[in-house]
Amino acid sequence: MDAVRPMLRLFTDEQVDGIVDDALAVLEATGFYVENEEALALLAGAGLRLDRGRAWAPPAAIRRALSTAPARIAVYDRDGALALDLGADRVHFDPGSAAIFCLDPRTRRRRPPVTPDLVQLAWVTQACDHIAAQSTGLVPSDVPEALADRWRLAVALLNCRKPVITGTFRKDAFAVMKSMLAAARGGEAALREKPLAIFDCCPTPPLKWSDLTCQALIDGARAGIPAELVSMPMSGASSPVTLREVVVQHAAECLSGILIHQLACPGAPIVWGGSPAGFDMRHGTTPMGAVETMMIDVGYAQVGKRLRLPTHAYMALSDAKTVDYQGGLETGIGAALAALAGINVVSGPGMLDYESCQSLEKLVLDNEICGMALRLVRGIGHGSAAQAPDLIRQVVELGSFLAHPHTRANFRAELLSPGKAIDRATYGGWEKAGCRDAADRAADEVQRILAKGNPAPPPPELARELRRIMDADARRLGLDAPPPLA
Amino acid sequence: MGQPEDILLELNKAVLAGDEAGARELAGRALGAGIAPLAAIDGGLVPGIGEAGRLWDEGEYFLPELVAAAQAMKAAMAVLQPALAVDGGRRGLGRVVIGTVEGDIHDIGKTLVGTLLAANGFEVFDEGADVPPSRFVARARHVDADLLCASALLTTTMSRQRDLVAAAREAGLRAKVCVGGAPVTQAWADAIGADGFADNAVAAVALARRLVGRDA
In a shared domain, residues B106 and B187: yes
Does A357 have pLDDT greater than 80?
yes
Show residues of chain B in contact with A169, CB under 8 Å. 156
In a domain, A287, yes or no: yes
Max distance between CA atoms of chain B, in angstroms, equals 57
Residue of B nearest to A357 (CA): B183
In a shared domain, residues B99 and B206: yes
Domain count, chain A: 1
- Are A225 and A181 in contact by the 8 Å Cβ rule? The answer is yes
Give the CATH number for residue A312.
3.20.20.480
**A291 phi, psi to nearest 5 deg:** -65, -35
What would the pLDDT profile of B172-188 be if each residue is shown by its tens digit?
A: 999 999 999 988 999 99
In a shared domain, residues B15 and B40: yes
- Are A91 and A339 in contact by the 8 Å Cβ rule? The answer is yes
In a domain, A42, yes or no: no
Contact yes or no for A281 and B64 at CB 8 A: yes
Report the run of H or E that residue B99 belongs to, with start and end.
Answer: strand B95-100
- Are A367 and A332 in contact by the 8 Å Cβ rule? The answer is no
**Residue B85: which pLDDT band, with cuts at 50, 70 and 90?**
low
B188 CB neighbour count, 10 Å cutoff: 19
Instruction: Please report the pLDDT score of residue B2 as a whole number.
Output: 66
Question: Which amino acid belongs to residue B28?
Answer: G
Q: Is the N-terminal amide bond of A206 cis, ω within 30° of 0?
A: yes
In a domain, B174, yes or no: yes
Highest mean pLDDT pick, A165-174, A298-307, A375-384: A298-307
Does A98 have pLDDT greater than 80?
yes
In a shared domain, residues B65 and B122: no
| For residues A154-173, average pLDDT | 96
**Residue B38: which pLDDT band, with cuts at 50, 70 and 90?**
confident
Contact yes or no for B182 and A354 at CB 8 A: yes
Mean pLDDT of chain B: 88
Query: How far is it, in rounded angstroms, from Cα A420 to Cα A423?
Result: 7
Contact yes or no for B155 and A145 at CB 8 A: yes
**Residue A484: which pLDDT band, with cuts at 50, 70 and 90?**
confident
Does B86 have pLDDT greater than 80?
no
Q: Which of B29, B50, B83 is the last residue of a domain?
A: B83
Q: Which of B62, B83, B104 is the last residue of a domain?
A: B83
Show residues of chain A in contact with B59, CB under 8 Å. 282
**Residue B216: which pLDDT band, with cuts at 50, 70 and 90?**
very low
In a shared domain, residues B163 and B195: yes
Range of the domain at A118: 71-206+224-245+269-382+418-486
B128 CB neighbour count, 10 Å cutoff: 13
Contact yes or no for B63 and A139 at CB 8 A: no
Does A382 have pLDDT greater than 90?
no
**Residue B91: which pLDDT band, with cuts at 50, 70 and 90?**
low
Does A396 have pLDDT greater than 90?
no
The candidate with the shortest Cα–Cα distance to A473, out of A154, A4, A255, is A154
Does B12 have pLDDT greater than 50?
yes
In a domain, A283, yes or no: yes
What would the pLDDT profile of A124-144 be if each residue is shown by its tens digit?
A: 999 999 999 999 989 999 998
| For residues A30-44, average pLDDT | 97
Give the CATH number for residue B171.
3.40.50.280
In a domain, A37, yes or no: no
Instruction: Please report the pLDDT score of residue B82 as a whole number.
Output: 80
Give the CATH number for residue B40.
1.10.1240.10
Does A385 have pLDDT greater than 80?
no
In a domain, A28, yes or no: no
| For residues A205-211, average pLDDT | 93
Show residues of chain B in contact with A283, CB under 8 Å. 200
Mean pLDDT of chain A: 95
Does A486 have pLDDT greater than 70?
no
Left, alpha or beta for A152 (phi > 0: left; psi -120 to 50: alpha)? Answer: alpha
Range of the domain at B57: 4-83
**B136 phi, psi to nearest 5 deg:** -55, -50
Lowest mean pLDDT among A56-60, A202-206, B201-205: B201-205
Q: Spell out the residues 6+ positions from residue A189 whose beta carbon is closer than 8 angstroms to its own.
A: none
In a domain, B88, yes or no: no
Does B87 have pLDDT greater than 50?
no
In a domain, A337, yes or no: yes
Highest mean pLDDT pick, A49-53, B185-189, B206-210: A49-53
B58 interfaces chain A, CB cutoff of 8 Å: no
Residue pairs spanning A and B at CB distance below 8 A: 28
Lowest mean pLDDT among A237-251, B18-32, B104-118: B104-118
In a shared domain, residues B207 and B104: yes
Instruction: Please report the pLDDT score of residue B90 as a whole number.
Output: 58
Q: Which of B83, B114, B131 is the last residue of a domain?
A: B83
Does A261 have pLDDT greater than 90?
yes
Residue of B nearest to A210 (CA): B105
Q: For a pLDDT cut of 90, what percent of chain A falls above it?
A: 88
Q: Spell out the residues 6+ positions from residue A335 whose beta carbon is closer than 8 angstroms to its own.
A: A93, A315, A316, A346, A348, A349, A366, A369, A370, A372, A373
Domain count, chain B: 2
In a domain, A156, yes or no: yes
In a domain, B72, yes or no: yes
In a domain, B23, yes or no: yes
Output b/e per residue, A399-431; b: 16+ Cβ within 10 A. Answer: eeeeebeeeeeeeeeeeeeebebbeeeeeeeee
In a domain, B176, yes or no: yes
Q: Which of A33, A97, A100 to mutate to test the interface with B (most CBs of B within 10 A)?
A: A100
In a domain, B89, yes or no: no
Does B78 have pLDDT greater than 90?
no
Query: How far is it, in rounded angstroms, from Cα A348 to Cα A282?
Result: 24
Closest CB from B63, B156, B182 relative to A356? B182
A169 interfaces chain B, CB cutoff of 8 Å: yes
In a shared domain, residues B76 and B150: no
Q: Which of B56, B57, B58, B63 to mutate to test the interface with A (most CBs of A within 10 A)?
A: B63
Query: How far is it, in rounded angstroms, from Cα A3 to Cα A267?
Result: 33
Give chain A's end-to-end CA distance (angstroms, integer). 49
In a shared domain, residues B102 and B206: yes
What would the pLDDT profile of A263-276 be if each residue is shown by its tens digit?
A: 999 999 999 999 99
The candidate with the shortest Cα–Cα distance to A315, out of A331, A291, A303, A295, is A331
In a domain, B184, yes or no: yes
In a shared domain, residues B46 and B100: no
